[in-house]
Amino acid sequence: GVKDTKTIAFINKSEIPRGRDVTYATFVCDVKPLKIETHRVRITVGGDRLECYDDTGSPAANLLETKLLLNSTISDAQYGAKFFSVDISNYFLASPMKRCEYMKVKAKYLPEDIINYYNLKDLITEDGYVYIRIDKGMYGLKNAAILAYDNLKSHLAKFGYSPVPGTVGLWQHATKRTRFCLCVDDFGVKSFSKQDTEHLLDTLRAQYKITTDMTGSDYCGLHLDWAYDDGYVDISMPGYVAKTLKRLNYNAKVVPQTSPHAHTPIRYMRKGEQQFATTPDLTPYLPPPERRRLQSIIGSLLYYGRALDYSILPALNDISREQSKPTLQTMERATRVLDYVATYPNAFIRFHASPMVLNVDSDAAYLVAPEAKSRIAGFYHMSKNHSHDTPPPINGGVLVECKTLRHVVASAAEAEVAGIFHNAQISVLVRRILRALNHPQPPTPIKTDNSTANGFIHNNIHQKRSKSWDMRYYWLRDKLLQKKLHFFWEKGATNNADYFTKHHPAKYHRMIRSKYIKDKILPNSANLTNYISSHYKKLQHICQ
């Protein structure tokens, strides 16, 4: 009763052309609780044994485009916008191929009913193998992803859907207001009407078997709590921290950790005193197993930090530079970050409905990294247009940049200009995505708290020792004159990017965290609950 897809064909060994590679087959068993078919057995191709001369990469949505689409949906909810998700079953199967490939599998691994149905006994070789010709895309092929993508793209084009130029995974319709992010075979869709929704679903059903979640509660590992009437959506990853800590064999601490990194107090010099450099790390290097564990910690937490808990990015920025030659001290710093996320395991960010005007805060910290390097940061959120009389309300961050400058800058002002330059370039990309989502943008306001950097961009200072800026940063003046970007100065206390450039003390983290990241205090969060209860008077103003 199973309908075949003509993906493979069992053949005689003699049918394989001379000079062609023959790879192996592997059986993979897995459990996918979010799929209709939860318990799966798949035969996959040993792609490492096959030569592939074409480009095997395929586009996929990133977090930035996904978050902008979610923010756009809740902002347009007043006009009828809703979010839902679609998943294509067996996406990598049955995609047309330019040429067929070959593999072999031991006959003893094939079920008896398969052998009888396809009359395979006569095809079994003396060494016990059955040979297979691969006519269409299969799991394990190097080019499986691009084959499936091209097949999907050509099918959707017949019905008016196409990728948005200049984006990674954002799609649009030629005449309808439907927009969606495509992440491999998962669609996150913003639709304005039942007719538009059915048009997309019918388009996909014409060629694929699909499953839908019309509540839009889950998309690519993100859990979405939609409150359309109240004008906000909460984005979380329930259980991600717990699963990560369990996989990393983390031992829970009794006392909560409310800071992801150690704080080195600023030492203000008296006359005649000398400022000394940070003590070098003389602890032993980690053995290979511990080095791999450290790299696993960084990778797992970096995704979590970019998706939800932005507060760990400065700590990971420092640790990641040492992961090629990590020491015992590096592992201690990584363990501290684990203690921190274990203290706040249920983080989420909230996007409020807004006029969808991009606002950017840019900041830099001068000479805070080894080898005389500086760190830059940017906080991007959707709000109303900036006005000096009424600053825009802060919204959940769609993106937080936290990077170390590759080159050494000569002053704090140059570090600030470098940060503005980086954030301005990212802003151009975000503006393009927002226009594709039908949100025209005024000149994007970019805030800095450095008056010298602001003066350089507006060309109202006289340069003396800053000639190195000429090679890199005059592009900022061009965008200002074109009225694409608007740069302005405000005092540092209002700069939302400052939090992501420095290693602040734990007290500051406790006070400022709720401004950017929300936390659900669940009954199983015993460590944090007991800590707050025992220090209620000290933390009362923070909790409120």
What confidence tens digit (pLDDT) does each residue in 344-373 have?
A: 999 999 999 999 999 999 999 888 877 778
Of residues 146 and 541, which shows the higher confidence score?
146
Q: Looking at the predicted structure, is the pLDDT value of residue 499 above 70?
A: yes
In this prediction, residue 537 has a pLDDT band, given cuts at 50, 70 and 90, of very low
Closest of 392, 402, 401, 396 to residue 359, by C-alpha: 392
What does the pLDDT read at residue 491?
85
What does the pLDDT read at residue 469?
65
In this prediction, residue 268 has a pLDDT band, given cuts at 50, 70 and 90, of low
CA 237, CA 224: separation in Å to the nearest integer?
9
What does the pLDDT read at residue 431?
95
Of residues 166 and 197, which shows the higher confidence score?
197
What does the pLDDT read at residue 269?
54
Q: Looking at the predicted structure, is the pLDDT value of residue 527 above 60?
A: no
Residue 22 has phi, psi (to 5 degrees) of -120, 120
What confidence tens digit (pLDDT) does each residue in 17-50 have?
A: 988 889 999 888 988 776 777 888 888 898 888 8
Structure tokens at 168: 């990674």
> For residue 452, with 0-12 CB atoms within 10 Å meaning exposed, 13-18 middle and 19 or more buried, which class applies?
middle
Q: Looking at the predicted structure, is the pLDDT value of residue 392 above 90?
A: no
In this prediction, residue 436 has a pLDDT band, given cuts at 50, 70 and 90, of very high
What confidence tens digit (pLDDT) does each residue in 87-115 have?
A: 998 888 878 888 889 999 999 998 898 89
Count of helices and strands (H, E) across the chain:
14, 21
Q: Looking at the predicted structure, is the pLDDT value of residue 257 above 80?
A: yes
Q: Looking at the predicted structure, is the pLDDT value of residue 255 above 70?
A: yes
Left (φ > 0), alpha (ψ -120 to 50) or beta: where does 90 sit? left
For residue 104, the SS3 value is strand
What does the pLDDT read at residue 348?
93
Question: Helices in 437-489 by DSSP H: which ranges?
Answer: 451-457, 474-481
CA 33, CA 39: separation in Å to the nearest integer?
8
Residue 303 has phi, psi (to 5 degrees) of -65, -45
Which residues have C-beta within 8 Å of that of residue 188, sequence separation ≥ 6? 61, 66, 69, 70, 83, 85, 180, 181, 216, 219, 220
What confidence tens digit (pLDDT) does each residue in 280-336 have?
A: 777 888 899 999 999 999 999 999 999 999 999 999 988 888 888 888 999 999 999
CA 5, CA 225: separation in Å to the nearest integer?
38
Least confident among 119-133, 341-355, 429-443, 517-531: 517-531
**Average pLDDT for 117-144:** 90
Work out the percent of the chain whose per-residue pLDDT is above 90.
45
Q: Looking at the predicted structure, is the pLDDT value of residue 532 above 80?
A: no
Q: Looking at the predicted structure, is the pLDDT value of residue 2 above 80?
A: no
What confidence tens digit (pLDDT) does each residue in 66-81 have?
A: 999 999 999 999 999 9
**Average pLDDT for 205-209:** 91
Q: Looking at the predicted structure, is the pLDDT value of residue 220 above 70?
A: yes
What does the pLDDT read at residue 535?
46
Query: What DSSP character marks residue 400?
Result: E
What does the pLDDT read at residue 335?
92
Residue 72 has phi, psi (to 5 degrees) of -65, -40
Which long-range contacts (C-beta less than 8 Å, at least 24 apart) are formed by 167-173?
A: 167/65, 167/432, 167/433, 167/436, 168/59, 168/60, 168/61, 168/62, 168/65, 169/59, 169/60, 169/61, 169/62, 169/65, 170/61, 170/65, 170/69, 170/433, 170/436, 170/437, 172/436
* pLDDT, mean over the chain: 86
CA 292, CA 86: separation in Å to the nearest integer?
36
> Looking at 151-207, which runs of residues are DSSP E strands?
161-163, 170-173, 179-183, 186-191
Query: What would you measure as the largest C-alpha separation in the chain, in angstroms?
Result: 94
In this prediction, residue 279 has a pLDDT band, given cuts at 50, 70 and 90, of low
Least confident among 224-233, 347-356, 387-396: 387-396
Beta bridge partners of 42: 28
Work out the percent of the chain whose per-residue pLDDT is above 70.
89
What does the pLDDT read at residue 318?
87
**Average pLDDT for 229-234:** 94
What does the pLDDT read at residue 520?
81
Question: Helices in 321-381 by DSSP H: which ranges?
Answer: 328-343
CA 56, CA 148: separation in Å to the nearest integer?
11
For residue 300, the SS3 value is helix
For 236, half-sphere exposure in the C-beta direction (CA atoms, 13 angstrom radius) is 16
What confidence tens digit (pLDDT) does each residue in 139-192 have?
A: 888 888 888 899 999 999 999 999 999 888 999 999 999 999 999 889 999 999
In this prediction, residue 542 has a pLDDT band, given cuts at 50, 70 and 90, of very low
What does the pLDDT read at residue 452?
84
In this prediction, residue 534 has a pLDDT band, given cuts at 50, 70 and 90, of very low
> For residue 62, with 0-12 CB atoms within 10 Å meaning exposed, 13-18 middle and 19 or more buried, which class applies?
middle
> For residue 542, with 0-12 CB atoms within 10 Å meaning exposed, 13-18 middle and 19 or more buried, which class applies?
middle
Structure tokens at 457: 């961009």
**Average pLDDT for 395-408:** 90
What does the pLDDT read at residue 501?
86
Q: Looking at the predicted structure, is the pLDDT value of residue 485 above 70?
A: yes
Residue pair 399/64 in contact by the 8 Å Cβ criterion: yes
